[in-house]
Amino acid sequence: MKVALVGLGNMGTAIAQRILCAGHDLTVWNRTASKAQAVVEQGAKASGTARECVSGAEVVVTSLIDDKSVLDAVRSADGILAGMDAGAVHLCVMTISPNCAEELAALHEARGTHYVSGPVVGRPDAAAGGQLASFLAGPADAIKTVTPVCEAYSSRIVALSQRPSVANCMKLAINYNVASTIELIGETYVFAEKSGIPLELVRDFYRQMWFAHPAAKMYAEKLRQRDFAGRGGFTMTGGLKDLRLMLSAAADVGAPLEIGAIVARKLSEGVDRGMAETDWSALYEISRREAGLS
């Protein structure tokens, strides 16, 4: 298929590489042009503008940072809507608000193009191995069109609804559990430290008994070792953005996420303390500081 990809951060680059490996014809655009070099060397074509990038593409993938960045990329004079062919499909793989997803769907409907929310679950290393989970929502025919592209970087694809925002709510629900679990482990480790319990014993409880998913085991070990270097993972800045989206979406439906408010406060404090680019699990350091641990 002829595919365009806008946004080449850690996740976007890994997804682009998988799309190339699957044999699709890929054109890319990134605001910082130098970030396209790696995928261009692997066979992608670079463009000077988002409008040029998406021209002629059957599927346009966006992997940007937040609501504003994707809306700006879609609506600008040299942007996605201006360049997309009628009938083409915009697939947004990033974490955005449910309201933004509905706004994007409306923009595309008015233009004669189509929109599918396709947020992914997994880290950039999972994307590089084709092991992401993709949750899709949008018109059935549009989902059918984007599925071969999703198969390039996903080991699991779930079509949820014809309403795009449902996929974004699903992603926020999943990320809320990840964020809450990090907080749970951190609080428990603090209690263990102050009570004289060896952290290895608590870690083994999580790894061997409580959590079976590899990501849960990974975070249990990261917090035990206090290993919070970014190294291509999910940063505090990204985590804070997602927590704010979760809290906003929950408020919209009258379902308070109280642990989420705690996590958001700690992530905000971490960002203010210069930890913006550390892994978001570094909120454990805020828990330790509040408990009087060095």
222 assigned to active site? no
Cα–Cα distances (Å) from 174 to 61, 122, 167, in that order, read: 22, 10, 11
Quick count: other Cβ atoms within 10 Å of Cβ 103?
Answer: 20
First to last CA, the chain: 54
- Show the tokens assigned to 143: 């989902």
23: burial class by Cβ within 10 Å (0-12, 13-18, 19+)? Answer: exposed
The Cα–Cα gap between 139 and 220 comes to 39
DSSP 209: I
Angle, in degrees to the nearest 10, between helices 283-290 and 258-272: 90
The Cα–Cα gap between 152 and 132 comes to 10
The residue from 2, 35, 68, 171 that is catalytic is: 171
Strands 25-29 vs 2-6: parallel, antiparallel or unpaired: parallel
Cα–Cα distances (Å) from 270 to 33, 222, 287, in that order, read: 30, 17, 10
Instruction: Please provide residue 184's backbone torsions phi and psi, each rounded to the nearest 5 degrees.
Output: -60, -50
Cα–Cα distances (Å) from 66 to 32, 69, 94, in that order, read: 17, 5, 8
Helix ranges (H only) for 86-213 are: 98-111, 124-128, 140-153, 164-195, 199-205
Which active-site residues does the annotation give? 171
